[in-house]
A and B are shown apart, each in its own frame.
Chain A
Amino acid sequence: MSFTFTKITTVSATLAALLMPSMALAERAGLPGTDRPEARGKAIAEITDATNLGFGDTTSEMEMVLTNANGDVSERRLRFNTLENKDVTDGDWSMMIFDDPADVAGTAMMTYAHILDPDEQWMYLPALKRVKRISSVNKSGPFMGSEFAFEDFSSQEVGKYSYLWLRDEPCGEFTCHVIERRPLYKHSGYTRTLAWTDTTHYQSRKVVYYDRKNALLKTLTFGDYQQYLDKYWRAHELFMENHVTQKKTLLRWEDYAFRTGLTADDFTQNSLKRAR
């Protein structure tokens, strides 16, 4: 089935390229042509990845608004500390601290992300004062009852997916490359995702997720992009809509700070226990 799919998309990609010859002129130098959709898709992902290179470290806060099919709303608050891995062949280190709801306040999760090897993950449970190494197999499960899965949060390293460029098309005020990504890591909840990446800043504008049966599952849209240190783009509003359950989750990011001086010393089990 996937074979047929690839063929169809290749055809439509070629059609799109024929219909929009002007796009090719405005293209970034060195981008593989539309006749090489795999190489082109991967190159676009690499450009996006490069826009984030050298960010060093960030701290940020996040508000999460969950809305169910009846319109009932519940909220969560979390904080994130991230340290860029100088080794580009390995993933970043991160710490996630829960603030709200109050009964889980102080719970913290530390992740050493890897590209295709399983991530290393520890959870701190403040009531028991216990650090527990947890399985990082849980990719597809819901994150804190939201419409985001754990894998939607983990760092989107280039090597985690295979790519296929499909077409270029207008997306709001921008033009977007539309790429199909297939997860290469185990235990993903998706067969594939379609990602819209703008051709101006090379940032994600929209992602459509297809479940393991290749049925449409959910759509993520990115809004309120702001640029930091004249280089690094961060979306401040991420909106996930589940087409099956009609549930929605809005992530609102606040107080992004770059190069705050975090080091590897801030990502030990002792610092996980002190996280607050």
Chain B
Amino acid sequence: MRRLTPLLAFGFMLGLPISPGQALDIDVEGNVELELRHHPNEARHEDMEQDFASLAGEFELGLFSPSGRHALIVKPFARYDQHDHERSHVDLREGKYRYVNGLFEATIGVDKEFWGVTEFLHLVDIINQTDNVESIDGEQKLGQPMIKASYASRYGTLTGYALPFFRIRQFVDPVTGRPNPGFTVDDHTTLFESGETGGSARRVDDYALRYQNNFGAFDVGLSWFDGTARVPQLLATGEANSTNGLPKLRAYYAELTQTGLDVQATLGPWLLKLEVTQSTENRYLPDPNAGGFPSLASAQEETEINRATGGFEYTFYNLFASGTDLGLVAEYMYDERKEKSPHPFGNDVGVGLRWTANDPQSTAILVGGLIDLDTDSSSISLEAERRLGRSFKAILEARFTDKVGATDSGQQDRLAKALADEDSVRFRLAYYF
């Protein structure tokens, strides 16, 4: 982080209460990146592209009072994508005022919160909407407007959230965008449980509560959420996209309550992890006239869903006294609906191998595999990164479908089939300041 005293003038310009001789701490940092993306599989439609160039940048400005009690942080993000107009987007990742007094902390504004312990699937994590166009790994999040109050006593940390706005999940451009999941979603037709439609952000009354504590080797979190589901149910419309003929789906966001538990036991080189959620929402039932997909015409039913994910992480530190580390991650993902679950993690295993060189350039390689135990479908990902010089970082990512399988009853894995032609290689060169 850079502390730029000349920028004090900036504070005066913004009308901040700085008296001469009082050092208001100012932090400025950020990064810009050039991204080149290649999809080796030929496009399903002539308007779909194989090569994408993109520019993105993130900038953070932080103003901190001398006591550290008051902080103002603004962090905008922007991406321009050569072909995908949905992926070209601007987002305020953070824009908040924070007050701290001893063990009490309050935040008002846009912020990001992460809950949970697992690596492949983040079940309990629910505060922020996923930035779905940024990356398909689900790790990138949109800024969430909130009022947050937290108290960290020796009996654990209790945090309450009021979330007055909801943001929808964006999908890649229906025509040019990739990876193309084999369907298109039109943002203008978004449907909410209240019956209202459209809009990328919506005034809501969502609330959440989280308790977190550490008992020796165990780190435990309990969470509760009552609000708009972050993951939409996709409904068949019977319509097709006029350009590429792919089915047009409509995103429906239900009212959801979710209770979650996350536990990590840290035992020597072993990290044992578990996340469990129980959620209740009104879901549309499959419509026999829409190929078994739910549609607006089908009935709604209050549905309780139990999900879990867990596994281990084991690290061989200083492997053969080489100074490098090799970590193994294996996690199982369970949804009681199994192969009928609307997402790809009903009965799956994720395996990862992480090698860190611990060299001055912080070289690291991560290889991951996902296997669907119901259909035997599998996919593989590879990520490698290395710092170049002092301020640059090169990141290479590759994702490809290894096998498209089918269930015992012969039903093909639809998502795996759709993504089979959507392998990708992504190279990023980032400059940090």
Contact = CB atoms under 8 A, between A and B. Distances in A.
A265 B219 CA distance: 18
Contacts of B1: 99, 105-106, 276
B66 interface: no
A138 B266 CA distance: 13
B62 A276 contact: yes
A118 B212 contact: no
B317 A140 contact: yes
Interface stretch (B100-108, B182-190, B248-256): B100-108
Contacts of A132: 117
Given A102-B433, A135-B266, A129 B114 contact: yes
Given A74-B360, A141-B325, A145-B362, A133 B432 contact: no
Most buried by A among B1, B100, B152: B1
Interface in B315-341: 315, 317-318, 321, 323, 325
Interface stretch (A4-12, A86-94, A175-183, A267-275): A267-275
B29 A102 contact: yes
A269 B152 contact: yes
Interface in A130-158: 130-135, 137-142, 144-146
Given A128-B139, A142-B323, A269 B393 contact: no
A251 to B, nearest CB: 15
A95 interface: no
Given A137-B269, A138-B315, A270 B105 contact: yes
Interface in B209-228: 212, 214, 216, 219
A211 interface: yes
A68 interface: yes
Contact of B387 (A101, A120, A129): A101
A144 B347 CA distance: 38
Interface in B6-53: 27, 29, 31
Contact of B212 (A66, A128, A269): A269
Contacts of B266: 120, 133-135
B412 interface: no
B318 A189 contact: yes
Contacts of A131: 114
Given A103-B387, A120-B214, A269-B157, A141 B318 contact: yes
Interface string A104-140: 1110000000000010100000001111111101111
A255 interface: no
Interface residues of B, number: 48
A130 B114 contact: yes
B150 A270 contact: yes
A112 to B, nearest CB: 9
A268 B152 contact: yes
B317 A187 contact: yes
B411 interface: no
B268 interface: yes
B112 interface: yes
A138 B318 CA distance: 8
Nearest to B314: A135
B264 interface: yes
21 contacts: A100-B390, A101-B390, A102-B391, A102-B432, A103-B31, A103-B362, A103-B430, A120-B266, A128-B114, A133-B214, A134-B271, A137-B268, A138-B317, A138-B325, A141-B358, A142-B358, A145-B359, A189-B318, A265-B103, A270-B105, A276-B62
Given A74-B360, A141-B317, A146-B360, 10 more contacts: A100-B390, A101-B432, A103-B391, A135-B270, A137-B317, A265-B152, A269-B157, A270-B105, A270-B150, A274-B98
